[in-house]
Amino acid sequence: MSETFPWSVLGIAPTSDRKAIRKAYAAAVKAMDIDAEVDAYAHLRSARDQALALARETPVDAVSPLALRDVSEDGGDPLPGDEGASSSSSGFWPLAAPRLLRPLGEGSVRTAPQTPEPAPGRPCFETIFPDAPADTPIAATLELGPHQSLAAPTLSGYGEIEAALGLIPGQTACERLEAVLTESDDAELAEAERIVALRALQAAIGEARSEGIDRQEQVEDWLAGLLATHWPRSAPLLETATQAFGWHEEWHRFDARPAVRFIGARLRGARFRARVEDPGHRYHAAWRELNRKGPAGPFRWLRASRDDVQFVLSGLRANFAHLEDELDPRRIASWNRPVIWPRVVLGLCWLALLANLLGLSWPFVSPAYELPDGTQIELAEDGPGPTLFGEYLETAVAESLGQGHDLAWLWDRDAELARRIVAQVRASLDSGGGAEGATRAAVNLVRAATHAKGHTLSGEAREAAMRLRLDQLRAAREMAPATCLTLLHDGQLPQQASAFPEPLRARERAAAARLAETPLPPENPGEEDTSVPIPGALIDAIIARTGLPDAAVREALQNEGEDAPRCDVAIALLAAALDWDGEPATREAILRAL
């Protein structure tokens, strides 16, 4: 930077007079429109700031004499460890800068005050807390020695645990805290130490609370550095200190103090760990898996899902990277490698295909058939294998819905019916009905389903469905009156009945395929009991069609009497109702009953 900056910008000769600098700056600001000259304003600001900084550095009379004396005393004092000297210093704070910038390395941090480091092993309180212990009679109590301190009279705020640990009575809370944290190299605080440390921490916080904000900040800064330096020994203290100073507000900030960020990562890591160790936690399995030693085997995906593990890993890295250091790197490495199990599965598939080609049945698992929606159904050990079962299924479907239709086609349109067909075919095969029985069962099932679906239709389609029904009943009557009645009540033909003639079958298949997309109506078992009033006109028509006497017709309509007249009356009623153009509601009720 040129010799003339910042003075050239301010338009004055180099000076250490703050007033002159500010006057020049004020004149320059008033002469410009800062909203229009953004860069010039920034330039002027930085010139002013630099000039003021230079003025501060130059030791001239303009600088406050008090501050000067302070600097010379503490800067020139080579004895930070000398109690007498430091206690004699006036009440002024040697570290007036509000920020103690200390570099913090990962895992190992050290409070670095701006004054020279005291000799190793010595507590650094004298430099950080010059006003703390001087007037307490430490010298006298020190003579007692660590063993005798047990017998020493208990001072106020000084308890038996402290005494047992050999701590010095009369220590300030801050000193005691540092002593407990530094006196051992153990990674963890012993229970007694933990109690003392926590008590000392709370006392230190309480003392700071009753002080001014500058002092609070010094204590806070010092504490943050101390706790960060002595982690993991300080681990049980982090929560309390964080609550007291609101560090949780700070550690998310991009400009958080390094010690606070360090503590934040440790504390959040501990909180995360406490939560994730609960077996009910969403990522518990992934966490446990990552904590195992050694590389993970090919079946690691059985223990935790890959996505979960990756999620936990990326969360660790973004938030508390130190937790990853505690995990076995080989384990993590194997999770980072592409998984080889797809190849294993592929190999198994080849084996299965080979076995199938050789006509072997898979020796380990019971045969299963995969449905179009991907679910597997188990087949009987001694029944047909999956391939044969599939063939039977397709035959049954083609017989029910016509050539060119297969199970997948039906599955897309009416999964419920398809599922029932599969169940029916399997049940039929299991009961020894063979391929033919299975097909017949399926056809019957579809016939009943088509009839049920027909009831949900209206208009032309409804009429066509009922005409088909009429012809089915007539065909069944040809076979036997009982068959007709079974069809009338169950919608199905009896198991042993022979099939309908082919033209009727074709109409059935066409109707089933046409109605494939119509959903099955919910079953309504109460429907059979509904009584339907039949108008006299229809009774007359039935009598005319059947030639039966009036009484026999009425008996049949009550579902009484012999099969043949009941069947004839039902057919006649259906035919008459279809041709009748009476009241629509009554007609619909009659059709529904049939």
Judged by CB under 8 A, does residue 246 bind another protein? Answer: yes
In the complex, least distance from residue 135 CB atom to another protein, rounded to whole angstroms: 20
In the complex, least distance from residue 324 CB atom to another protein, rounded to whole angstroms: 6
Stretch touching another protein by CB under 8 A, among 4-12, 250-258, 419-427, 583-591: 250-258
Judged by CB under 8 A, does residue 210 bind another protein? Answer: yes
What is each CA distance from 338 to 333, 397, 554, in whole angstroms?
A: 10, 44, 79
Map the footprint of another protein across residues 445-474, applying CB under 8 A. none
Query: Encoding tokens for residue 357?
Result: 């080609």
* From 122, 317, 330, 343, residue interacting with another protein (rule: CB under 8 A): 317
* From 122, 253, 330, 489, residue interacting with another protein (rule: CB under 8 A): 253
Q: Which helix (H) or strand (E) holds 313?
A: helix 306-319
Query: Encoding tokens for residue 477?
Result: 């009557």
Nearer to another protein, 57 or 186 (CB): 57
Give the binding-site size for another protein (rule: CB under 8 A).
37
**Among residues 51, 72, 88, 99, which one has the least CA distance to residue 214?**
99
In the complex, least distance from residue 31 CB atom to another protein, rounded to whole angstroms: 10
450 sits in the region (left: phi over 0; alpha: psi -120 to 50; else beta) called alpha
Please, is 401 exposed, middle or buried when counting C-beta atoms within 10 Å of its C-beta (0-12, 13-18, 19+)? buried
Nearer to another protein, 282 or 317 (CB): 317
* From 198, 256, 497, 589, residue interacting with another protein (rule: CB under 8 A): 256
Nearer to another protein, 319 or 361 (CB): 319
In the complex, least distance from residue 22 CB atom to another protein, rounded to whole angstroms: 5
* From 212, 279, 359, 374, residue interacting with another protein (rule: CB under 8 A): 212
**Among residues 283, 289, 291, 332, which one has the least CA distance to residue 312?**
283
The residues near 166 (Cβ < 8 Å, ≥ 6 apart) are 146, 147, 149
* From 78, 103, 254, 523, residue interacting with another protein (rule: CB under 8 A): 254
In the complex, least distance from residue 8 CB atom to another protein, rounded to whole angstroms: 20
Nearer to another protein, 31 or 357 (CB): 31
Amino acid at 455: H
In the complex, least distance from residue 422 CB atom to another protein, rounded to whole angstroms: 47
Contact predicate 197/167, CB 8 Å = no
Contact predicate 414/476, CB 8 Å = no
In the complex, least distance from residue 245 CB atom to another protein, rounded to whole angstroms: 9
Stretch touching another protein by CB under 8 A, among 135-143, 182-190, 245-253, 493-501: 245-253
First to last CA, the chain: 105
Residue by residue, DSSP assigns 369-436 as EE-TTS-EEE--TTS--HHHHHHHHHHHHHHHH-TT--HHHHHHH-HHHHHHHHHHHHHHHHTT-HHH
Judged by CB under 8 A, does residue 249 bind another protein? Answer: yes
* From 154, 314, 387, 524, residue interacting with another protein (rule: CB under 8 A): 314
Query: Encoding tokens for residue 355?
Result: 């076995």
Contact predicate 196/167, CB 8 Å = yes
The residues near 251 (Cβ < 8 Å, ≥ 6 apart) are 260, 261, 263, 264, 265, 268
* From 82, 117, 160, 214, residue interacting with another protein (rule: CB under 8 A): 214
In the complex, least distance from residue 302 CB atom to another protein, rounded to whole angstroms: 25
In the complex, least distance from residue 516 CB atom to another protein, rounded to whole angstroms: 47
Binding mask 369-388 for another protein (x = CB under 8 A): --------------------
What value, to the nearest 5°, has the Cα angle with vertex 525 and ends 523 and 528? 120
Judged by CB under 8 A, does residue 98 bind another protein? Answer: yes
- How many angstroms separate the CA atoms of 158 and 173, rounded? 10
- How many angstroms separate the CA atoms of 169 and 133, rounded? 11
Map the footprint of another protein across residues 20-59, applying CB under 8 A. 22-23, 25-27, 29-30, 34-35, 38-39, 41-42, 45
Contact predicate 541/580, CB 8 Å = yes
In the complex, least distance from residue 132 CB atom to another protein, rounded to whole angstroms: 18
3-state class (DSSP) for residue 104: strand
Binding mask 58-97 for another protein (x = CB under 8 A): --------------------------------------x-
In the complex, least distance from residue 147 CB atom to another protein, rounded to whole angstroms: 42
Contact predicate 565/548, CB 8 Å = yes
Map the footprint of another protein across residues 333-362, applying CB under 8 A. 336
* From 187, 213, 357, 585, residue interacting with another protein (rule: CB under 8 A): 213
Residue ranges binding another protein (CB under 8 A): 19, 22-23, 25-27, 29-30, 34-35, 38-39, 41-42, 45, 96, 98-99, 210, 212-214, 216-217, 246, 249, 252-256, 314, 317-318, 321, 324, 336
